[in-house]
A and B are shown apart, each in its own frame.
Chain A
């Protein structure tokens, strides 16, 4: 469930256009010299004891905080620009008349890129159904849109490395495609509220003015301001948790309950994660703590996916347009997909 990050602050001055081309290379430069800089600060200037836990914790915090914020700002900015090329209306047009499997693949991929927030879930759902897009394809979109988001990717990349981020994105996409396809095969049309089919949607005629590249840059800025102002506190908290437990809590403390030898850890993580709702940034501190202390990657990823991909508030919203059996099918199919991914990772790693 993505939140509504759509404020148009409308302050469009010419200077905007040039700033990113200076700031982004600068940020990348800082990013690459960050570790050396922090080491110099901690060991060179503060003269801290290399072997102390406290030093390790402070170094971790000082290095990871700017690193994650640089990554976050740059990626959110770029994604904000990319998203300005997409809209739910365009996505619907692209999906119209596509057969089941190809439709699922496209819907899941477009789900990542289309700007979407949960308050629009119902109009979007009806809009899709109205134009004859199969339910299975619609669900692929609804699974991918919240599950794979740029904040989650940045944080996974920054804190756990590119492999974890890539695994998350690719398996998330796979779950969205396959669950949508399965739901499509189950012939669930009868579980959609009848009135949805009766709605005769009007033609959408927004008065489009020409979108300039400057507007897109502006969209990037808006995304950065909106997202960073909402998630920064979670990120700082997450890194602080990471730093604090870095060396303090006994290693492998979690391994006995969330390690890969414990087969039921994955279903348990999903069971706990589904009703919980948090944004991607809020879940990172927990993930950090779990992984650091010996929880296995599969279990931790399954937990994160179930928290941000499936949520009670979203189900309550969807309940207005679909009947309970379909909600249950939807949750079970996606939860099963998440569990399979969890087991698979525990098996591989």
Chain B
């Protein structure tokens, strides 16, 4: 599984990365976590708000910091 955090380094984006890492470690799954900071790459997803969260290339959340439980659910449903 590939999890991408799309954000240009704002505080909320970093918090999202931390939350995702926590979710992944708590769930004990094997996932590749990337923090995409390049705006051109971010724009290829078409999001207009950051931070955004993409799991296996599909945008799951944009412009907000989902809760740990929500992130776990997004990962779990995959």
Contacts and interface: CB of A to CB of B under 8 A. Distances in A.
A119 B10 contact: yes
Given A123-B39, A195-B40, A205-B58, A87 B47 contact: no
Nearest to A9: B67
Contacts of B7: 119
Contacts of B64: 6-8
B46 A8 contact: no
B37 to A, nearest CB: 11
B62 interface: yes
A122 interface: yes
Interface stretch (A22-30, A143-151, A196-204): A196-204
B69 A10 contact: yes
Contacts of A124: 48-49
A115 interface: yes
Interface string A178-213: 000000000000000001000111111111000000
A309 B10 CA distance: 20
Interface in B32-58: 39-40, 42-51, 58
A120 B40 contact: no
A88 interface: yes
B70 interface: yes
A124 B43 CA distance: 10
Contacts of B43: 123, 126-127, 130, 199, 201-202
Contacts of B62: 204, 206
Contact of A120 (B48, B58, B60, B70): B48
B42 to A, nearest CB: 6
Interface in A8-32: 8-11
B48 A123 contact: yes
Interface of B: 7-8, 10-13, 39-40, 42-51, 58-67, 69-70
Q: Which 5 pairs across A and B sit closest by C-beta, in order of nearness?
A: A119-B10, A10-B67, A204-B46, A127-B48, A6-B64
